[in-house]
Structure 1
Amino acid sequence: MNNNTYYTNRTVLITGGAQGIGLGMAQAFAEAGANVIITDKDQEAGAEAVQRLEKQNLTIDFIPCDVAQEQEVKQLMQEVGEKYKELDVLINNAGIADPFVGPLQDFDVAVFDQVLAVNLRGPLLCAKYALPLLAKAEYPAILNISSTRAFMSEPNTFPYSASKGGLEALTHSLAVSLTEERVRVNAIAPGWIEVGEWQKDSERYEPHHSGEDKKQHPVGRVGLPQDVAEASLFLCSDKAGFITGQSLAIDGGMTVKMIYK
């Protein structure tokens, strides 16, 4: 597949696209010729993302939005529709990323509500209000960015794990619910993805991984945003036209490796 041919003049909206995996996908789709819109609650990061890609002669739009707020999502989709008329790809990537919350007995339940509002309710809102725009596209697709933590856990990560588990279920539910609108819905479940070099300036850091970190992965390294981006280019294209309701783990094989120590 020649992505530069396929994505030319197609419109891609990436939530949480100002940093990390989202920014990596934004760059990849822009390089492939798409009209890319990123949205993010962090306006500083959004402005920096636009500038970063401009230095590579890539153009993206940035529209601030908190995906947990229904009115903001409605306004976002209205702005996208006014400028681009239709939407080919919606990537639900925005999320509260820090999974650790401490012991259950000390846990503030309000945190659980906040995480689910962004990580699970947000993708549902975005899908709902993007649907009229997606229905106008030739090969519409939704891609949800889940996590391998939907299937396995470290201690005291229950809000994040629950939200990503719900997003996996939402993926197959939407896939069978949007058949009349011809919208394919899939998920990518990233594992350990190093995003240090893809953060805004004030939070950027130089990654360092020990030999043990790398050995946890059968492929011998920690993942990069580019790894997720390459898979997203395929899953959102017509070359994946017979794939819907599925989840692809991109984790260097970590979830299939048995570790006893």
Structure 2
Amino acid sequence: MNIRFDGQTVIVTGGGSGIGKSIVEQFAESGAHVCILDFDREAGKKVAENIKSEGLSGSFHFCDVSDQQQVKEVFTEITSRGRDIDILVNNAGIAHVGNVQDTSEEDFDRIYDVNVKGVYNCMHAAIGYMLDQGAGVILNLASVASSVGIEDRFAYSMSKGAVLTMTRSVAKDYVNDNIRCNCISPARVHTPFVDGFLKDNYPGREDEMFEELSKTQPIGRMGQPDEVAALVLYLCSDQAGFITGTDYPIDGGFIRLNT
């Protein structure tokens, strides 16, 4: 399937690393101008520079998605350059390990601000432009934790459950405005975050624990960022024009084969 986004502008939050980086790269390779929003200036700039060095189109925009005013200013900056907001991918997110007893109010608020309010802020900023254009696509990154109970992921599960239900609500509210909204639910994906987590928590046992975590997926391995990005591109493409209000697990069988 030859999926192209020539002439379209795509905003990807958290595009400086991991899954977001792969999403940015694949959109750019498919002809889109990609606006990389990230709180990590160095990482975001590096991704933008890399795609430009390959003759592709992209720009970096520093943004704390939990700050609504800052999000609005970035979206205004993007559109002031004559660009529409054709596609918004809400990828930015942070993790937390702990049950309800282990989760402090500070922990809970931090997860909520980025994973829930950040998604709301970006959709709130984008939807008006999409209505004016008469079209748009929103793709949110939820998680398998949106649908099944996962041990010691209380705050994270709360946030990703909210992403799932916000997705359905936006899809319902704007289905007659030619605006589609879907989400995907990855299981464990091998990103630099995973490597850092293992290094910090299991020094000297990284390979052993990586294998153990991989085996928790029924398919026997973690997902790869490029696999997630490929699903994102399909759901944002015209080929997926009949799909809205849907959550797509990309989980190596985790949800269906463990429930």
Assess, with a 3 A threshold, how the Cα gap between structure 1 residues 152 and 249 changes in structure 2: closer, same or farther: same
Q: SS state of the match for residue 138, structure 2?
A: strand
Task: Describe the superposition over 1:210-254 as per-residue Cα deviations: whole angstroms up to 9, x where unpaired.
Answer: 555444334332101111111111100111111110000001112
Deviation, 1:199, is: 9.5
2:236 maps to which residue? 236
Q: Report the CA distance between 1:258 and its aligned residue.
A: 3.4
The correspondence for 1:147, drawn from 139, 143, 151, is 143
- Residue 184 (structure 1) aligns with: 180
Aligned to 2:125: 129
Q: CA deviation at 1:168?
A: 0.3
Letter in 2 for 1:26: V
Matched, 1:194 2:190: yes
Which stretch of structure 1 is more off in the superposition, 152-161 or 236-245? 152-161
What TM-score, normalized to structure 1?
Answer: 0.87
Corresponding residue to 2:25 among 24, 27, 31: 27
> C-alpha separation between the residues in 2 aligned to 1:252 and 1:240?
22
Kindly provide the amino acid, as one letter, of the partner of residue 221 in structure 2. R
Q: Residue 172 of structure 1 aligns with which residue?
A: 168
**Structure 1 residues 28 and 235: CA distance shift in structure 2, 3 A:** same
The equivalent residue for 2:34 is: 36
Measured in 2, the distance between the counterparts of 1:245 and 1:184 equals: 7
Deviation at 1:208, TM superposition (A): 4.8
Distance in 1, matches of 2:140 and 2:107, equals 22
2:147 counterpart letter in structure 1: F
Is contact 1:87–1:136 with CA below 8 Å preserved after alignment?
Answer: no
Show structure 2 runs of 5+ residues with no match: 200-205
Contact 1:116–1:163, Cα closer than 8 Å, also in 2: yes
TM-score (norm 2): 0.88
State which of 57, 70, 73 in structure 2 corresponds to 1:72. 70
User: What 5-or-longer segments of structure 1 have no aligned partner?
Assistant: none
CA distance in 2, matches of 1:230, 1:258: 25
Mapped partners of 2:102, 2:252: distance in 1: 34
Q: What's 1:254 paired with?
A: 254
Q: Which amino acid aligns with 1:232?
A: V
SS of equivalent residue, structure 2 residue 88 = strand
1:16 and 1:38 in contact (8 A); partners too: yes
Counterparts in 2 of 1:199 and 1:183: CA distance versus 1, 3 Å? farther
Amino acid in structure 2 at the alignment position of 1:99: H
Q: How many matched pairs? A: 250
What's 1:221 paired with? 221
Structure 2 partner of 1:114: 110
Matched-pair contact (CA < 8 Å) for 2:87–2:138: yes
Cα deviation code 1:44-64 (max 9, x no counterpart): 211222233344443321101
Residue 228 of structure 2 aligns to a residue whose secondary structure is helix
Match of 1:51 in 2: 49
The answer as to whether partners of 1:218 and 1:252 remain within 8 angstroms in 2 is: yes
Q: 2:203 corresponds to which residue? A: none
CA contact (8 A) 1:43 1:64 kept: yes
8 Å CA contact retained: 1:20, 1:199? no
The answer as to whether partners of 2:100 and 2:155 remain within 8 angstroms in 1 is: no
CA distance in 1, matches of 2:207, 2:27: 27
The CA distance in 1 between the partners of 2:42 and 2:138, in whole Å, is: 26
CA contact (8 A) 2:33 2:58 kept: yes
1:151-199 Cα shifts (integer Å, max 9, x gaps): 2233332111000001100000000111343210000111111112999
